[in-house]
Structure 1
Amino acid sequence: MFKHLTSIRYSYIRSHFYAMFITTVTMLAILLSIHVLFKPGWLTSASIFVFIGLYIVLSTIVSIYAGFRSSGNLKSRLDSLSVLITQYANGNYESSIYTNKDDEVTRIVNELNELGIKMQNQVKSIQRLADEKSEFAKSAHKTAVIEERQRIARDLHDAVSQQLFALTMMSEAALKQMDKNPVIAKEQLQEVASAALQAQTEMRALLLHLRPVHLSGEPLVNGIKKLIGELEQKCNIHFHLSLDENVKLHNTVEDHLFRIVQESLSNILRHANATAVKLELYQRGREVFVHIRDNGKGFDTNKKEENKTSYGLKTMRERSEELGGTFTIRSNPNEGTYIDIRMPYRMQEGEEVK
């Protein structure tokens, strides 16, 4: 109750009451002075107090009405500013306010609109830098692959190729000794078998380096489905998926979101003891939302968690903020955990807002 009395509307009413009080005291002093000094017949003590009383009653009504009317417009404009700031805090930098007045509030509105535009540009710059970083990482990966292939080629020449040459020589020697000295031929064939086994081992080790570590180039939705499919075969957790197939993101954003989902599911498997997980992915306007909820044991977010858990949460938060998004986690003991990710959506050229 007392909190509402400090609002801008009641401040206006109090200022009107203050002006009414000053005016009443001034009028009372003037009328009493005239009554004492000049004693006119029309001005009596009763008429003075009746006039002052009527003035107070009318001024009170007018002050309340004028206070509400004059403060209503300012209050609505301040409420709009509060909503705009909340939108910016939630990562919705597309919001803005338009006004045709020329006062201090309008100046603040214009500065906030300019701030929103600058933050939009910063988000685009961050995502552009992330794309460039991803391209540099791909270039570095290609360079590493080339170097690895060159190393494998050297190993093939130095190890397997020489072993195959040795196998050829020992085989020819064993064939020559087959009729003359079968015992020596048998020993040489045993050496051939041993050398062949060693060459096979070397070849398998080299081929292992050529196998891809993970699949690339797939859409985010497909990657999440494959990941969930593998987890369902290995653990007793029921997954409920609600994935928007129409969400099309830049490769860098998809990679970050996939790694965040992967890290969150890893935390659930290791720490939550959950039996059900719900995962949602959808787009609303200029934002992409990812919600992950489990029915596990939860934890107290106000307490410092174990190093592995807090490191995983820190990594997910950093990945979200790296692209201008927000990462929110809510959890209570025995009530599960809820993760909310909001990522600004950078549209392709010619694309319309959904």
Structure 2
Amino acid sequence: MADADKRFRDFGSATNRTNRMNKLRVLIVDDEKDVSRVMAINLQLEGLDVIEIHDGLSAIDSVEEFKPDCIVLDVMLPKVNGWDVLKFIKNNPATAGIPVIMVTAKVLEKDQLHGLGAGAARYITKPFSPAVLTEAVKSVLESQEREEVARKRRETIEHLQLSLIHKISDILISTSALDDLLERVADKLANLFDLSLCGLLLSDNDESEMYVFHKALHQWDRGKNVSRNVVSRRDAEKLKGVFAANRLPVRISDLEEFNLNMIFLGMSAMEEGYAFPLFEHDKYLGAVIVADKSSVDLSPDEVSLLATITNQVAVAVARARLHENLREEEVIHKRLLHQTITAQETERRRLASEMHDSVVQSLVGMSYKLQVIEKKIALETYDELQIDLKALGEQLNTSIKELRDLLLGLRPPMLDDMGLLKALDVYLKSFGIKNDIQCVFQEPDDMPQLNKDAQINLFRIAQEALNNIEKHARASRVTVEIEVLESELHLMIRDDGRGFTISKTQHNPRKLGIASMRERTELLGGRLSVKSEVDHGTVVKIDVPLKQIVEE
């Protein structure tokens, strides 16, 4: 290229204008003839020899025939596209050193990365100023500027890689559900590298599942198709074995007895692809597999970018799986809690029924008998005995009342017979009389029919709050209010007692029954809040979505 450099430095002289054989030769490949002509005229004014070609196949022949000093190459060409022309140039030792300037209307970052990563020296997007093209051609032909051109090319590639990684990161950060994560990542990767298929293979001890994003191969398709299928243990284990020995990406064609079409079941025949491992620390999670119906030839920069992206995907997949496991554990916890509460209520109902039918009836019978004996004795003169029997009768009646109150707490019969509002009203009145507290019950104007679980749990929450008031609050007034809005039901228990410091109960929430109330609230899909201030009372509020508690 020393002679070419000298010719470039002197190409503006009159001597070199007349001697076209010594001029630097530029090959322009663009199917838009008007655009090609404008580029040619501007370069010819700089003293360059220009050859114009308008399709990819002729460009390949011309490169070998004319051995140009520089090539200006469009992407969207007839017969053979610009990407394949560039690939041919850079894979041929005889032409690999010729600088190529991509001039195209493809402005996306992925296209720029594809061009520069495949070996283009510069990437210029249309429309552009002729001066920009002239400066680019000079920079790649001038030997003193070649190192600067290479440096800028590398900086541009790194900038594009960081930009694309950032966009992928946004998807990974904003998506926690595994299905959504896989679909969006596969979609992005398939479009990023212009591939027909992108699959994410997730492996576990039981079976391996392939999540496939399939781009439309025909214009009448709807754009994309997402599917999932089970991968044979043999193929999954083969990939796992390859990556266990080496965590580097691998070409599918380099794997023995590995059939892409067995991975992408039901898809069009795939010829080539790449597999990238998914590791979270030392744990193998699966692989990202990209493929196409034609040959796939990613540049080293594209392979490096995909490897970086798949490392991020592995972390996101691990996080999504953890999120799913936590959700499953939460569902199991709620199911067990529901079963426990149901068992408690069943046992309470049984105890209340047995105590009412046996102990209470027996005590009532004894009370009646004492009254009969008292009347008989009244006819005689056993004054002291009569007094003792009367006292015993009063004690017995007190015990019967206390036992009935206990039964009311265990399982108010009106909760089953007349519903939540009546049960709360009766219980609150009994609570007020027992503790000498003024109690107010504010009912909603229109109460929907609640399911049994909702009625039981709302009653128990109110009961627990009232128990706390009885034991700790020293209140003189209590208000229980139920409010029904469009989509929520609010239950609020307010007292004017001595209150407490919330922070002191956070380390021992069961001391005031807060944990029990919260568990029952969460079981209904609601939220519990407790507000309290020393000497200013306490407010317990439960907000529950109506759709969770209304009887269907």
- Matching of residue 140 in structure 1 with residue 336 in structure 2: no
**Mapping of 1:262-301 within 5 angstroms?**
262-263=466-467, 265-266=469-470, 269-270=473-474, 279-280=481-482, 290-292=491-493, 299-301=500-502
- Matching of residue 261 in structure 1 with residue 473 in structure 2: no
CA contact (8 A) 1:243 1:280 kept: no
Give, in whole Å, the separation in 2 of the partners of 1:124 and 1:284: 28
Task: Please give the TM-score of this superposition, normalised by the length of structure 2.
Answer: 0.37
Match of 1:220 among 402, 420, 426: 420
Residue type at the aligned position of 1:125 = L
Q: Which has the higher helix share?
A: 1
Give, in whole Å, the separation in 2 of the partners of 1:263 and 1:207: 24
CA contact (8 A) 2:492 2:540 kept: yes
- Matching of residue 245 in structure 1 with residue 447 in structure 2: yes
Specify whether residues 216 and 346 from structure 1 end up closer, same or farther in structure 2 by C-alpha distance, changes over 3 A only.
farther
**Mapping of 1:198-209 within 5 angstroms?**
199-209=389-399
Q: Which has the higher strand share?
A: 2
CA deviations 1:167-202 (Å, max 9, x no partner) are 45x3xxxxxxxxxxxxxxxxxxxx267766655554
**Mapping of 1:1-354 within 5 angstroms?**
44-45=143-144, 47-52=145-150, 54-55=152-153, 58-59=156-157, 61-78=159-176, 100=183, 102=200, 104=314, 105=316, 109=320, 112-113=323-324, 115-117=326-328, 119-145=330-356, 146-150=358-362, 153=365, 157=369, 159-168=370-379, 170=380, 191=381, 199-211=389-401, 212-213=404-405, 214=408, 216-218=413-415, 219-225=419-425, 245-246=447-448, 248=450, 249-250=452-453, 252-263=456-467, 265-266=469-470, 269-270=473-474, 279-280=481-482, 290-292=491-493, 299-303=500-504, 313-321=511-519, 325=523, 327-331=528-532, 337-341=538-542, 351-352=551-552
CA deviations 1:228-284 (Å, max 9, x no partner) are 67759966898877687226243542442221331355478527x9x8968455589
Give, in whole Å, the separation in 2 of the partners of 1:161 and 1:54: 112
CA deviations 1:44-88 (Å, max 9, x no partner) are 33x13431453366346524532333323222224x68xxxxxxx
Instruction: Kindly report the root-mean-square deviation, in angstroms, between the aligned alpha carbons of the 2 structures.
Output: 5.2
Residue type at the aligned position of 2:330 = M
Per-residue deviation, 1:123: 1.9
The farther-off stretch of 229-238 and 199-208 is 229-238
Give, in whole Å, the separation in 1 of the partners of 2:325 and 2:446: 33
Does 1 or 2 have the higher relative contact order (CA < 8 Å, sep 6+)? 1
Per-residue deviation, 1:314: 3.2
Per-residue deviation, 1:130: 1.9
Residue type at the aligned position of 1:321 = E
Specify whether residues 202 and 240 from structure 1 end up closer, same or farther in structure 2 by C-alpha distance, changes over 3 A only.
closer
Residue type at the aligned position of 2:467 = E
CA deviations 1:301-336 (Å, max 9, x no partner) are 33469xxxx787532323443675475435566887
CA contact (8 A) 1:263 1:316 kept: no
Per-residue deviation, 1:124: 3.0
CA contact (8 A) 1:167 1:196 kept: yes
Task: Please give the TM-score of this superposition, normalised by the length of structure 1.
Answer: 0.52
CA deviations 1:109-153 (Å, max 9, x no partner) are 466446534533442332233222222223233333413433554
The farther-off stretch of 243-252 and 255-264 is 243-252
Residue type at the aligned position of 1:150 = S
Give, in whole Å, the separation in 1 of the partners of 2:360 and 2:537: 45
Give, in whole Å, the separation in 2 of the partners of 1:264 and 1:167: 47
CA contact (8 A) 2:478 2:496 kept: yes
Specify whether residues 301 and 115 from structure 1 end up closer, same or farther in structure 2 by C-alpha distance, changes over 3 A only.
closer
Residue type at the aligned position of 2:466 = Q
Look at both structures and tell me which one has the larger radius of gyration over its CA atoms.
Answer: 2
SS where residue 164 of structure 2 aligns?
Answer: helix
Specify whether residues 197 and 318 from structure 1 end up closer, same or farther in structure 2 by C-alpha distance, changes over 3 A only.
same
Give, in whole Å, the separation in 1 of the partners of 2:522 and 2:389: 52
Structure 1 unaligned regions, length at least 5: 1-22, 28-40, 82-95, 171-190
SS where residue 54 of structure 1 aligns?
Answer: helix
Give, in whole Å, the separation in 1 of the partners of 2:387 and 2:420: 43
Aligned to 2:242: none
CA contact (8 A) 1:241 1:280 kept: yes
SS where residue 448 of structure 2 aligns?
Answer: coil
SS where residue 502 of structure 2 aligns?
Answer: coil
